[in-house]
Structure 1
Amino acid sequence: MDTNTAAADALRATMIEKVRKMGFAQRPEVERVLRSTPRHEFVPEASPDDAYNPYQAVITHRFSDGASLSCASAPFVVAMMLDQLDVRHGNRILEIGAGTGYNASLLAELAGDASNVVTIDIDAEVTAQASRALTAAGYDGVRVFTGDGAAGVPEHAPYDRVIATVSPWDIPRAWWEQLAPGARLVAPLRWRGQSRGVAFTYTNGRLVCDSNELSGFVYLVGDDEGELSGPITHDEAIKLHWDRDQVVVPEALHGVLGEPRSTVWSGITVAGDEPYDGVWLRLTVTDPRVCRINAPADIPAEVCDPIQAGRSPVLVDGDSLAYLASRRRETGSAVRWELGAHGHGPAAVYLAEHFCAEVRAWSVHRDQRKPQLVVYPASTPDHDLHGTIIDKTHSRFVLTYDNGRRRDR
């Protein structure tokens, strides 16, 4: 074994150790393929340290508009999605978003036959690069297509497993039609401004979620008709993002951040490495006003100070809003962060207090208790649905707590 190979093997072993400590690559077969596949060969422009950094995606191609990119997803995300997908030997697999070809090589190993894997990407440069990498690594049997991922690849359907490494706002009709009975679908879906890696089993004509994790990916090209956005500051620096079925009028909020701030603290704290995304997920079930506020990191805190720059939940009600915030709290040597809300506009106090009530309700079970998500075809009538309904173009998302009860408090 030469020195470079030994160094790559050591970096890969360290990567897997860290990924497993995060709670991913829990399936033995997923750990096995991550351990045996040389990720650095699919991202030759990256240093070995970057290629095997468990938290880092490696950008490999930027599209002509400069707004989107193709990359090798961070290893912990790859492991998370493969755990969710639960590939079995002999499965037929469709991958939406070819990337570098690395993920397709892992899928080929899991399926036991490279010809069982079909991958598609809309960008010809991306598919050409993925094909070259797959062939060089010995996976030339993987079928690589250039085309619209939303259309899938019907000529090789039906599929036992479908995985999207781009983020759709909806589940396209073609994906529904290309699923085999009992198939699993894993995709980073978007609703109410958030993005979550969701795993479904296709059963009785519907998709039943059994895994739901925070996730973020490049958007599926052309799948943007359902998510809207607009600035709420005159310089257009701060924006809201919401779904088309929500009533949000950005013009009504112009200047609202210049009005006095009303802040309410919840009394609920989290450690620096403790997730709080369940607050946002909960609000997608309990409050139809929740969406996303995007405030760049260079915006002064006195103007807008969300818990996470660019991606934080916000409640919008006419000419008022309140968004999730945090403050440092120290008890002896322990440092924690208290969750709260900053509100602006005539209903600022009400919205901030309501936000904190939702934080407290979430905190009872934290992320050990997530809502159930079931996705139905768009033609499903209302009387067959029970819970919070979010309508898309091709499907209807239904979220519930406690067997259909909308609220758990």
Structure 2
Amino acid sequence: MEFAAQRQALVAHLRTAQDVSEPVAEAMLAVPRHLFVPGVEPEAAYRDEPIVTKRDAEGRPISSSSQPAIMATMLGQLGVEPGHRVLEIGAGTGYNAALLAHLAGPGGRVVALDIDEDTVEQARRHLAAAGVTGVEVLCRDGAGGHPALAPYDRLIATVGVWDLAPAWLAQLGPGGRLVAPLDLRGVQVSAAMERDGERWVSRSVAPCGFMRMRGSLTGTETLEVLRRDPELLLMLPEAREVGDVPAALDAAPTEITVRREEAAPPFTVAMGVALWLALHEPRWCVVSGDLGGGPGLTPGIVQPDGIAVLAAQGSLVARGHGAGGARLAAELAAHVRAWDAAGRPEASALRIEAYPGDPASRRKAGGPATGGTAGGQGGRDATPAGEPERGAVTSGAVTSGTVVIGKRHTTLVVGFG
């Protein structure tokens, strides 16, 4: 089979870095990824890297073929079995739908939804070129799901979702499972959720990063293009004034060393600190691109007078830029030390409960609601019931307490352990 050796090398690489289930490995060995990214050299198609396939008018990426590592993780969380009916939110290139079709095997069926007609047509062409059957690709806002073929055994979103759409929960059958890159104040985690009475509870959680969902389920996150070549993006959990970030980054930095020898991989450190900041620091941000240590995601704190970012290469450093850079670097270093002292909690240790219904209505009924403050936890203000993304830590330290986050359609209760 054409480029079979490259697929074998990719799967071998993934298996050295993470757990990959046998069914997922077989699917990735069988489905030719290069046919789903025809403008990319075949050798490049089998690297463990995401491939951007579409940008908007301002240069922001809006569609891609996801990194194979996170695809393998999410497919493992999803647990598709032969004969399953699967709904995918975000068709993209069609590659993930092809993997789902292989996993669902004879008798299964996959429906993939995408909001852009050109993306849908492209996915259809790719699936046909690869000889994949059992997949239907439709153009529509994924927030509404596809009730005509409900109930589904599994539902997966391959775009970052700010909230869980009521239609998704309604269209999953008994014993159904949902896997989605769920937003937690700007940090995404791949959460595998199952129904537990009236609520949905996570069965596994993994770090991830996806382009955000567009349409009626669009969230509060913002993405600003700081530079185009080389690409540099600023991601915020909600729109706010941040000043001239490119000019600040051009200024000589102030550096504070948090730890002189850092053994953990930079990505692991970055994701752990980003999650900590999201739960503690209302001014937090993520810079995506190359800040001098290679491409990647870099968490930090940004204000109109400057920005501080984390560098984790050999040593762990808080690097401040701009007029307020020194102050922000000191504050970022303090957060990193607190995360370190707490045992470096990671996304995999999270437990997420989702309570469907309007947050204000749930509060009246005595259910979880946003509001309140906790001393030393970032100084968040009290929150009006139902206001999105303004919930606060409600008890204890982050490793023992919980965070209540009010969304439009659900209330999330998030904690470690």
Return the TM-score normalized by structure 1.
0.77
1:31 lines up with 2:25 in the alignment: yes
> In structure 2, which of residues 209, 233, 242 is the aligned counterpart of residue 250 of structure 1?
242
1:162 lines up with 2:145 in the alignment: no
Report the equivalent of 1:357: 337
Q: Is the alpha carbon distance of 1:137 and 1:241 closer, same or farther for their aligned partners in structure 2, counting shifts above 3 Å?
A: closer
Report the equivalent of 2:350: 371
Report the equivalent of 2:3: 8
Q: Is the alpha carbon distance of 1:46 and 1:170 closer, same or farther for their aligned partners in structure 2, counting shifts above 3 Å?
A: same
1:338 lines up with 2:321 in the alignment: no
Q: Is the alpha carbon distance of 1:73 and 1:310 closer, same or farther for their aligned partners in structure 2, counting shifts above 3 Å?
A: closer
1:401 lines up with 2:394 in the alignment: no
In the TM superposition, residue 284 of structure 1 has moved relative to its aligned partner by: 3.0
Matches of 2:206 and 2:96, distance apart in 1: 19
Matches of 1:308 and 1:196, distance apart in 2: 23
Cα-to-partner distance string for 1:251-270 (whole Å, 9 max, x where unaligned): 69999889997654333743
Report the equivalent of 1:44: 38
Q: Is the alpha carbon distance of 1:111 and 1:353 closer, same or farther for their aligned partners in structure 2, counting shifts above 3 Å?
A: closer
RMSD: 3.7
Specify the SS of the correspondent of 2:80: coil
Q: Is the alpha carbon distance of 1:39 and 1:294 closer, same or farther for their aligned partners in structure 2, counting shifts above 3 Å?
A: closer
1:384 lines up with 2:370 in the alignment: no
Write the letter of the residue equivalent to 1:384.
Answer: G
In the TM superposition, residue 185 of structure 1 has moved relative to its aligned partner by: 1.3
Specify the SS of the correspondent of 1:294: strand
Matches of 1:83 and 1:183, distance apart in 2: 15
Is contact 1:296–1:310 with CA below 8 Å preserved after alignment?
A: yes
In the TM superposition, residue 13 of structure 1 has moved relative to its aligned partner by: 0.9
Matches of 1:256 and 1:46, distance apart in 2: 35
Matches of 1:342 and 1:360, distance apart in 2: 20
Matches of 1:378 and 1:324, distance apart in 2: 37
Is contact 2:320–2:326 with CA below 8 Å preserved after alignment?
A: no
Deviates more, 1:107-116 or 1:14-23: 107-116
Is contact 2:49–2:68 with CA below 8 Å preserved after alignment?
A: yes
| Identical positions, percent | 32
Q: Is the alpha carbon distance of 1:28 and 1:312 closer, same or farther for their aligned partners in structure 2, counting shifts above 3 Å?
A: same
Is contact 2:181–2:191 with CA below 8 Å preserved after alignment?
A: yes
1:313 lines up with 2:299 in the alignment: yes
| Structure 2: runs of 5 or more not aligned | 369-393, 395-401
Matches of 1:78 and 1:259, distance apart in 2: 38
Paired residues, number: 373
> In structure 1, which of residues 131, 140, 147 is the aligned counterpart of residue 133 of structure 2?
140
Matches of 1:143 and 1:273, distance apart in 2: 39
Q: Is the alpha carbon distance of 1:230 and 1:250 closer, same or farther for their aligned partners in structure 2, counting shifts above 3 Å?
A: farther
Cα-to-partner distance string for 1:112-169 (whole Å, 9 max, x where unaligned): 2465211111121221222233234343332221111122112112222111111222
Matches of 1:317 and 1:49, distance apart in 2: 42
Is contact 1:179–1:202 with CA below 8 Å preserved after alignment?
A: no
Cα-to-partner distance string for 1:157-214 (whole Å, 9 max, x where unaligned): 2222111111222222322222223321112223333333222223223232233323
Write the letter of the residue equivalent to 2:411.
Answer: R
Matches of 2:175 and 2:414, distance apart in 1: 21
> In structure 1, which of residues 193, 204, 209 is the aligned counterpart of residue 197 of structure 2?
204
Q: Is the alpha carbon distance of 1:240 and 1:390 closer, same or farther for their aligned partners in structure 2, counting shifts above 3 Å?
A: farther
Matches of 2:123 and 2:245, distance apart in 1: 45
Q: Is the alpha carbon distance of 1:47 and 1:321 closer, same or farther for their aligned partners in structure 2, counting shifts above 3 Å?
A: closer
Specify the SS of the correspondent of 1:270: coil
In the TM superposition, residue 84 of structure 1 has moved relative to its aligned partner by: 1.2
Q: Is the alpha carbon distance of 1:67 and 1:268 closer, same or farther for their aligned partners in structure 2, counting shifts above 3 Å?
A: same
Specify the SS of the correspondent of 1:384: coil
Matches for 1:48-127 after TM superposition, within 5 Å? 48-53=42-47, 55-62=48-55, 66-113=59-106, 116-127=109-120
Specify the SS of the correspondent of 1:250: coil
In the TM superposition, residue 80 of structure 1 has moved relative to its aligned partner by: 1.5
Report the equivalent of 1:217: 210
Cα-to-partner distance string for 1:87-117 (whole Å, 9 max, x where unaligned): 1222211011112222112111211246521
In the TM superposition, residue 241 of structure 1 has moved relative to its aligned partner by: 4.2
Matches of 2:165 and 2:311, distance apart in 1: 35
Deviates more, 1:343-352 or 1:157-166: 343-352
In the TM superposition, residue 21 of structure 1 has moved relative to its aligned partner by: 0.9
1:283 lines up with 2:277 in the alignment: yes
Return the TM-score normalized by structure 2.
0.75
Write the letter of the residue equivalent to 2:299.
Answer: P
Q: Is the alpha carbon distance of 1:316 and 1:119 closer, same or farther for their aligned partners in structure 2, counting shifts above 3 Å?
A: same
| Structure 1: runs of 5 or more not aligned | 302-306, 329-335, 403-409
